[in-house]
Chain A
Amino acid sequence: MSDLKGNNKLSKSTFISFAKSLASNRLTFSVVVLLIVVVQNIITTPGFFKITIANGLISGYIPNILDEASELVIVTLGMTLVTAASGGQDISAGAIMAVAASFCGLMLNGSEYRTDVFHSPYLLALLVGLLGGALCGAFNGFLVSKLRMPPMLTSLILFTAGRSIAKQITHGQTIYIMNPVYKWLGVQIPGVPIRTTIIVSTVTVIFITLLTRLTSLGLYIQSVGINDASSRLVGLKSSVIKFLTFVLYGVLAGLAGLVGSSSVGSVNSGELGLGIEMDAILAVALGGNNLGGGKFSIAGSIIGAYTIQAITTTLYAMNVRADQLNVFKALIIIVIIVASSDVFKTKIKHFTQKIFSKNVSVGG
């Protein structure tokens, strides 16, 4: 008979330990923020969850968010890996996007600024674009892993010069690619009701997750990021692993560049992916990842990226005035960052502990 009481106690204590593990889990925070944004939308934006089919495409606010966030999600994946392995951030994503898209645009357009026909096979052009991204990544990776330069400083080179290089490739012009096939990657493949961006970003997330989970890459990256010297002594080639993450970052940024330019049907090297690296760093931080390297959570980063896009879309939907938009964004980000700081978390922990202990004493 006493079992009943025991059970009751057990469920309570398991609940408390569950709550505690939830509080200490790095994912919890980003999920909570995303939930707040969603709830806020239910209240302020009628039809936020409405999904319709327009012009053969599933559309609505949520598909919009998933669509618009896709470039950021792809870059964030790369940023997560680079951050984990090198303990620093690569800020050349936007420039790499421009370079990759410019290569691709050059292949497709020849030297014409506006054309309906492709000058070379579509898939080949995409591959060349990705290769361009990989080259940029390899350049950064070489400087970081072999010459031991800090990532932020290293990527400053491409951050500054990348768009100029892209401009040289496109002869300083915006390239307009009028062939509807070009928009397959960034808008829609005929007959598929889901935007290709959403498919591409999802597939990329799955690919990177599998890459880090099914091979030992994830473990290696974390080891190298936590302690380079220890990793070397257990036989890991830390410079190779760092180099690899930078190349992956380059390829992913390149892919984001192709998606981004495809979705607007043109390559504008001054505009493509402008400032995306900062959002990606923010997404990594929001995801509960340590910007100093080491352990990482892909899920956290991805949720962080979608949260950032959800905030932007929400502000548009609320018709916040243009001159106030950035103030609102900054305010929200300040709140999020303060709330995710360790000091604040400990305070909250103490607070909840107090409440718990009060509850227990009342119950006893």
Chain B
Amino acid sequence: MKKLFVLLLVAIVTLGLVACESPTTGTPSKSGGLITVGFAQCKADESDWRKANTNSVQQALSKENGFDLILADSNNDAAKQVSDVQGFIDQEVDYIIIAAVNVDGWDTVLKNAKDAGIPVILMDRTINASDELYECWLGSDFYGEGVKATEWMKKRFSGGTPANIVHLQGQLGASAQVGRTEALEDAITANGWTLLAQQTGDWSTDTAKEIMSSWIQQFGSDITCVYAENDNMADGAIQALEEAGMKAGGDDGVAIISFDANRAYLQMTLEGKINCNVECNPLHGPKVAEIIKTMESGGKPSKTETVEESAFFYDTITQEIIDARQY
């Protein structure tokens, strides 16, 4: 009995902590001709990238622009997110945007939304559900990002330097990892490059550094290129190289490819430590607004919509570009 009580107490405390950061779910105002949009965000303050993403949507779907946005932050709790979405349906919102915590478990709630006639827009993350159940998916074209990087590599390794690549993958199964890995593997086959080793660094600086140290022991100066699928792992790889006395980046060092292009790492690109940093644009807001407007006027968006993304190179980037970045 006593144990049960303690357990309950802890549960309450934990819930309380979560509740402190819980969503600001207001009642939807159908009045004033505003379009009501429910936004189920996975975790609003998870990272700088996610913050910029949330802000962008909030700005684009503001009252001034004719929207009434309800933000539900599930704090990475998949079950809570599903019930948030069900809440939107019960409130009879006009549109639902979902940045999914989990790929699975969406069938029932999406069916409910369809029955209620509420269009669903998936943002950034993909899910396992029939594409009948949602209107469109909006996000980054990860394969396209990979292609941008391999295009640069083609130029770099055209001059006779062998392309001996070590590949730090993201968390296996994440859509970003799948797209970026596929692009690299296709380019390797097409160009006859050498893949020395491939391992997952789980998006982590620390793990990436550890793996890179091991590869340096194994391959030494044979390594001419590191393809890291996010900034943190590129950071780890660069540190491992420098600690081993090898040069990272620049014209004659080991070529470093990175993705996401967060502000701190654009700084490293400017310093020349990262050769090529491909952006993963979090500013989905304007595009979402555009899609909703299209549907309001009777149009139909395509199943897959992507946001504009660019790549930054160590020899062309400027301080101004970095200062203009908000994430």
For chain A, residues 218 to 271, give those with C-beta under 8 angstroms from any C-beta of chain B: 260, 263-266, 268, 270-271
For chain A, residues 131 to 188, give those with C-beta under 8 angstroms from any C-beta of chain B: 149, 153, 156-157, 160-161, 164, 167, 172-174, 176, 187-188
Residues of A within 8 A of B243 (CB): 55, 57, 187-188
Asked if B206 and A271 make an inter-chain contact with CB atoms under 8 angstroms apart, the answer reads yes
Give me the interface of B with A, judged by CB distance under 8 Å.
6-7, 10, 13-14, 17, 21, 45-48, 51, 169, 172, 197-200, 203-206, 209-211, 213-215, 217-218, 232, 235-236, 239, 242-245, 264, 267
Asked if A272 and B172 make an inter-chain contact with CB atoms under 8 angstroms apart, the answer reads no
Point out the residue from B17, B45, B203 that lies within 8 Å of A167, measured CB to CB.
B45
Asked if B232 and A271 make an inter-chain contact with CB atoms under 8 angstroms apart, the answer reads yes
Asked if A317 and B217 make an inter-chain contact with CB atoms under 8 angstroms apart, the answer reads yes
Residues of A within 8 A of B199 (CB): 316, 319, 322, 325
- DSSP class of A's interface residues: helix, strand, loop or mixed? mixed
Asked if A322 and B198 make an inter-chain contact with CB atoms under 8 angstroms apart, the answer reads yes
Chain B CB count within 10 A is highest, among A56, A114, A172, A274, for A172
* Alpha-carbon gap, A289 to B244, bound state (A): 37
16 cross-chain CB contacts under 8 A: A54-B244, A56-B245, A68-B210, A68-B213, A114-B267, A156-B14, A167-B45, A174-B47, A187-B243, A263-B209, A265-B239, A274-B204, A316-B211, A317-B214, A319-B197, A319-B199
* Alpha-carbon gap, A316 to B213, bound state (A): 10
Point out the residue from A172, A187, A319 that lies within 8 Å of B45, measured CB to CB.
A172
- DSSP class of B's interface residues: helix, strand, loop or mixed? helix
Asked if A272 and B206 make an inter-chain contact with CB atoms under 8 angstroms apart, the answer reads yes
Asked if B14 and A161 make an inter-chain contact with CB atoms under 8 angstroms apart, the answer reads yes
Residues of A within 8 A of B7 (CB): 153
Asked if B200 and A260 make an inter-chain contact with CB atoms under 8 angstroms apart, the answer reads no
* Alpha-carbon gap, A263 to B212, bound state (A): 14
Residues of B within 8 A of A61 (CB): 214, 217
Binary CB contact string for chain A from 68 to 93 against chain B (1 if under 8 A, 0 otherwise): 10000000000000000000000000
Asked if B244 and A55 make an inter-chain contact with CB atoms under 8 angstroms apart, the answer reads yes
Residues of B within 8 A of A187 (CB): 239, 243
Assuming the contacts A160-B14, A272-B206, asked whether A174 and B6 have C-beta atoms less than 8 A apart, the reply is no
Query: Nearest-CB distance from A210 to chain B (Å)?
Result: 30
Q: Is A113 an interface residue (CB 8 A)?
A: yes
Query: Nearest-CB distance from B64 to chain A (Å)?
Result: 27
* Alpha-carbon gap, A266 to B48, bound state (A): 15
Assuming the contacts A161-B14, A264-B236, asked whether A322 and B172 have C-beta atoms less than 8 A apart, the reply is yes
Q: Is A110 an interface residue (CB 8 A)?
A: no
* Alpha-carbon gap, A64 to B51, bound state (A): 36
Asked if B244 and A271 make an inter-chain contact with CB atoms under 8 angstroms apart, the answer reads no
Point out the residue from B47, B197, B235, B245 that lies within 8 Å of A266, measured CB to CB.
B235
Q: How many residues of A contact B (CB 8 A)?
A: 46
Query: Nearest-CB distance from A259 to chain B (Å)?
Result: 11
* Alpha-carbon gap, A187 to B21, bound state (A): 37
Give me the interface of A with B, judged by CB distance under 8 Å.
47, 54-57, 59-61, 64, 67-68, 113-114, 149, 153, 156-157, 160-161, 164, 167, 172-174, 176, 187-188, 260, 263-266, 268, 270-272, 274, 312-313, 316-317, 319, 321-323, 325
Query: Nearest-CB distance from A361 to chain B (Å)?
Result: 51
* Alpha-carbon gap, A68 to B267, bound state (A): 28
Residues of B within 8 A of A160 (CB): 14, 17
Residues of A within 8 A of B45 (CB): 167, 172
* Alpha-carbon gap, A227 to B260, bound state (A): 55
Asked if A266 and B218 make an inter-chain contact with CB atoms under 8 angstroms apart, the answer reads no
Residues of B within 8 A of A272 (CB): 206
Asked if A174 and B264 make an inter-chain contact with CB atoms under 8 angstroms apart, the answer reads yes
* Alpha-carbon gap, A160 to B211, bound state (A): 28
Residues of B within 8 A of A319 (CB): 197, 199
Assuming the contacts A55-B244, A172-B45, asked whether A153 and B6 have C-beta atoms less than 8 A apart, the reply is yes
* Alpha-carbon gap, A355 to B199, bound state (A): 45
Residues of A within 8 A of B48 (CB): 172-174
List the 4 closest pairs (A to B, CB-CB), nearest first: A55-B245, A322-B200, A316-B214, A264-B205
